Chains A and B, each alone.
Chain A
Amino acid sequence: MRPKLNTMNLHEYQGKDLLKSFGVEIQEGIVATTVEEAVAAAKQLKTDVTVIKAQIHAGGRGKGGGVKIAKNEADVREHAGNILGMMLKTPQTPGGLEGPGKLVSKILVAEDAYIGKFEDNKEYYVSILMDRGRKQNVIIYSTEGGMDIEKVAEETPELVHKEYIDPMLGIQSFQLRKVAFNLGLSGVAMKAMSKFIAKLYKAFVQSDSSMFEINPCLHTSDDRIVAVDCKVSLDDNALFRHADLAELRDTSEEDATEVEARSYGLNFVNLDGNVGCMVNGAGLAMATMDIIKLSGGEPANFLDVGGTADAARVEQAFRIILRDPAVKAILINIFGGIVRCDRVAQGVVDAYKNIGDIKVPIIVRLQGTNADIAKTIIDESGLEVHSATLLQEAADLVKKVIG
């Protein structure tokens, strides 16, 4: 978990629209939300054979039955009917293949990009991302497309190539040729691949993306290069430059409680444990989860209330944590720097009274600016709240109340 999700994922069809707007050749398709729409879409496409693809934010869709080939209208009806509304399980959906899966509410009806015999077409792998170590963008590519690239990298690392791009100069022509030649291309296909990579890189930089993954990237038997699938993640921090892309956010793909929490300015992630927590700062929040575990509990959530832990936010945070019936105790851990602890304490007391009828024990640890005043406020409030000053004291109290 990166507690603060700094990326926004796009659906395949949205990613393809983005690539196409930069001139990247894609497998064409039309989005459908009903079987009738799917049938109409299939008729509009140029190929007789079409591919019905579930649109969810997870890879490995084919493994869970989310990608099907339709040879005629009856097939389109059957597959669209089965896939729309299904709970699709893939290795990347929450809980993996054993989990509940993700509801499919949209499908992409796509044309058949493979020309002539299937085996006369060749599948490659291409991705672009920022390498944190080198602090440069890198193009990762391989002749082993359509497969699990992590496995390829592990078993046959010599088949995975990397091309680093100079941040000041951008991608150079020799680098485009190198990618194409390393993929074993020549003639028309070599030129097509060079153009494909150039446009793809331009799209990556100009959209402020944090990751592109094109798998498979298809070399057709008539020497064109086509993006058959694509995964696009955008940099959240750069969305101010891309109002059009920001609108593509699909909150139905995210946990409803997490989306709600975000609207209150809370950074919340739901977990399976029995001790809820409310903390200021992501690092301290993770450390607090760790200390809950060391005290014999399991964290029920990650929750960073941010820099302004006022009464309204504390109350919303309380309500969200209390919604989880598994929560047996709540640990509030605030280190006041700019945030004054007495204000947080008053917020806790007010929220407690507003909500009323809180049955789980609450441990409040306030440290930093005005911590002593805060402790007095908590202790004199008459509430069933345990207060602590040191982190170890808070840990001991957690052990006591859940033991």
Chain B
Amino acid sequence: MSVLVNKNSKIIVQGFTGKEGTFHAGQMIEYGTNVVGGVTPGKGGQTHLDKPVFNTVAEAVDKAGADTSIIFVPPRFAGDAVMEAADAGIKVIICITEGIPVQDMVKVKAYIKNKDCRLVGPNCPGVMTPGEAKVGIMPGFIHNPGRIGIVSRSGTLTYEAVDQVTKAGLGQSTCIGIGGDPIVGTTTKDAVELLMNDPDTDGIIMIGEIGGSMEADAAHWIKENGTKPVVGFIAGQTAPKGRTMGHAGAIVGGHADTAEAKMEIMEACGIHVVKSPAAIGATMANALKN
């Protein structure tokens, strides 16, 4: 098993016929992912990459039984695309689009709150269950089916962790790229909780960055509920402090958003914190032995 996506997921691509959508949908299909069609308003009835194109997500749900969507729609229309998917009853919505205005995401988040769906992203590499479903833009070949779950805010740093896990002789259950925007659908804690409850995940790698409180929230949850080893890394230990104009952000954000502060909290919550990003895979392998 795995979380969020697997070989039985019925996946549609929103923004299917665009440049990005076409390229990545092609890669997903090549990997063996169960893509059942796509949505491009106005192009319904056509066939693209040998799959049906629908005008609306509702039609894709109705006719192709879609339950998962990946979104490649440009930033100005992406918020609308997420809401359309939620309204149509899609259960897992993965939004790759980078550059969505924050105020659009404030509305999207409020809109989907009471809908039965989970949003991953935006501005993320997607979700990967090796050997079953690649629902994102990550390179498929570095992954290996296995029992390590990975949660990360960044793209290429996730690939680095995946690669290290594979080279340490382990594999991945599901890798979740949650995205780097101020508002994301699935937080670090949400993703860790999914993996902690997955019977086929033995260990979790949690990769964060400076800024925000998501890693600290996840760490506190792990302290109370953790049953599996967690390895953590925070990028940005050497990043200088920001150039700020006002002070309002500090009042809301608090001061515990530096790499040092986060690593301290994670350590205190029983997470195996690595200082070097080169030590992620080996530390996981060791943690599993003990």
Please list the residues of chain A having a beta carbon within 8 angstroms of any beta carbon in chain B: 1-4, 6, 9, 57-59, 92, 94, 127, 129-133, 135-138, 140, 148-150, 153, 160, 166-168, 205, 208, 210-211, 213, 231, 233, 235, 237-238, 240-241, 271, 279-284, 286-294, 298-299, 302, 335-338, 367-369, 390-392, 395
Contact B156 A337 (CB under 8 A): yes
Query: Are A235 and B247 in contact, with the CB atoms below 8 A?
Result: no
**Is B286's CB within 8 Å of the partner chain A?**
no
> Which residues from chain B contact A211 at a C-beta distance below 8 Å?
245-246, 248-249
B contact residues, range:
35 or more
Closest to B277 in A: A287
In angstroms, how far is the closest chain A Cβ from the Cβ of B173?
A: 20
A312 to B165, CA, bound (A): 33
Inter-subunit contact A2/B242 (CB<8 Å): yes
B258 CB, min distance to chain A CBs, angstroms:
11
Q: State whether B241 touches A337 (Cβ < 8 A).
A: no
Known A-B contacts A148-B247, A337-B138; A290 and B236 likewise in contact (beta carbons under 8 Å):
yes
Bound-complex Cα distance A140 to B182 (A):
19
B21 CB to closest chain A CB (Å) equals 14
* Inter-subunit contact A238/B157 (CB<8 Å): no
* Residues of chain B in range 163-178 having any CB-CB distance to chain A below 8 Å: 163-164, 167
A281 touches B155 (CB 8 A): yes
Instruction: Decide: B154 and A284 in contact? CB cutoff 8 A.
Output: yes
What are the residues of chain A within 8 A of B259 when measuring CB–CB? 290
Q: List 6 A-B contacts (CB under 8 A).
A: A58-B245, A129-B249, A149-B251, A237-B75, A279-B156, A391-B278
Partner of A282, one of B101, B154, B183, B241: B154
Asked if B266 is at the interface (CB within 8 A of a chain A CB), the reply is: no
Known contacts A237-B99, A283-B209: A213-B247 contact under CB 8 Å:
yes
Is the Cβ of B102 less than 8 Å from the Cβ of A238?
yes
Contact B183 A133 (CB under 8 A): no
Contact at B243–A92, with CB atoms within 8 Å?
yes
Nearest Cβ on chain B to A93's Cβ, whole angstroms: 9
Residues on B with C-beta less than 8 A from A138 are 252
* Complex Cα gap A268–B181 (Å): 19
The answer on a CB contact under 8 Å between B238 and A293 is yes
A235 lies within 8 A of B103 (CB): yes
Contacts of B159 in A (CB 8 A): 335, 337, 368
User: CB-nearest residue of chain B relative to A273?
Assistant: B238
Closest Cβ of chain A to B10, distance in Å, is 25
State the 5 A-B residue pairs at the shortest beta-carbon distance, nearest first.
A283-B154, A281-B156, A238-B101, A283-B157, A213-B246
Query: A231-B245, A271-B240, A291-B276 provided; 11 other pairs, C-beta below 8 A?
Result: A1-B241, A6-B182, A59-B247, A150-B251, A235-B102, A283-B155, A283-B156, A286-B209, A287-B157, A290-B235, A290-B276
Stretch among B30-38, B59-67, B210-218, B219-227 lining the A interface: B210-218
- Report which B residues bind A (CB closer than 8 A): 75-76, 99-107, 109-111, 125, 137-139, 141-142, 152-160, 163-164, 167, 180, 182-183, 207, 209-213, 233, 235-253, 259, 275-279
The answer to whether B157 touches A395 (Cβ under 8 A) is no
Instruction: Kindly report which residue of chain B lies nearest to residue A10, judged by CB atoms.
Output: B245
Q: How far is B139's CA from A338's CA once the two chains are assembled, in angstroms? A: 7
Smallest Cβ distance from B59 to chain A, in angstroms?
27
On chain B, the residues within 8 Å of A1 by CB distance are 210, 236, 239-242
Is there contact, CB below 8 Å, between A235 and B106?
Answer: no
Residue of A nearest to B157 (CB): A283
- Cα–Cα, bound, A294→B279 (Å): 12
User: Provided the pairs A133-B252, A240-B76, A280-B156 are in contact, do residues A150 and B106 lie with their beta carbons within 8 angstroms?
Assistant: no
CB proximity of B151 to chain A, nearest CB, Å: 13
Q: Are A241 and B101 in contact (CB under 8 A)?
A: yes
Shortest beta-carbon distance from A168 to chain B in Å: 5
Q: Given that A291-B278, A368-B159 are contacting pairs, would A205 and B240 also be in contact in the complex, using a CB cutoff of 8 Å?
A: no
Evaluate contact between A9 and B278: CB separation under 8 angstroms: no
Contact check, A368 vs B163: say whether CB atoms are below 8 A apart: yes
Question: Which A residues are CB-close (under 8 A) to B250?
Answer: 150
Contacts of B251 in A (CB 8 A): 140, 149-150, 153, 160
Task: State whether B235 touches A287 (Cβ < 8 A).
Answer: yes
Q: Are A140 and B110 in contact (CB under 8 A)?
A: no
Q: Are B180 and A282 in contact (CB under 8 A)?
A: yes
Bound CA span A392–B233, Å: 15
Q: How far is the CB of A400 from chain B (nearest CB, A)?
A: 15
Closest residue on chain A to residue B254 by CB atoms: A133
**Complex contact A283–B278 (CB within 8 A):** no
A residues near B210, Cβ cutoff 8 Å? 1, 286
By a CB distance below 8 angstroms, the chain B residues around A391 are 160, 164, 277-278
Using known A-B contacts A286-B236, A302-B239, A337-B139, determine if residue A140 contacts B152 with beta carbons closer than 8 Å: no
B137 — which chain A residues lie within 8 A by C-beta? Answer: 337-338
In the complex the two chains form, what is the Cα distance from A337 to B163 in whole Å?
Answer: 11
Q: In the complex, A241→B101 CA distance in Å? A: 10
Instruction: Closest A residue to B250 by CB, please name it.
Output: A150
Q: How far is the CA of A149 from the CA of B245 in the complex (A)?
A: 13
Are B154's CB and A208's CB within 8 A? no
- Closest approach, in angstroms, between the C-beta of A137 and any C-beta of chain B? 7
Q: Which residues of B contact A290 (CB under 8 A)?
A: 235-238, 259, 275-277
Give A390 to B239 CA distance when docked, in angstroms.
23
Q: Collect the chain A residues with CB atoms within 8 Å of residue B101's CB.
A: 208, 235, 237-238, 241
B216 → chain A, closest Cβ, in Å? 11
In the complex, residue of chain B having the shortest beta-carbon distance to the beta carbon of A304:
B156
A167 CA to B182 CA, complexed, in Å:
16
Task: Please name all residues of chain B whose beta carbon is closer than 8 Å to the beta carbon of A4 when the two chains form the complex.
Answer: 180
The chain B residue with its CB closest to the CB of A207 is: B103
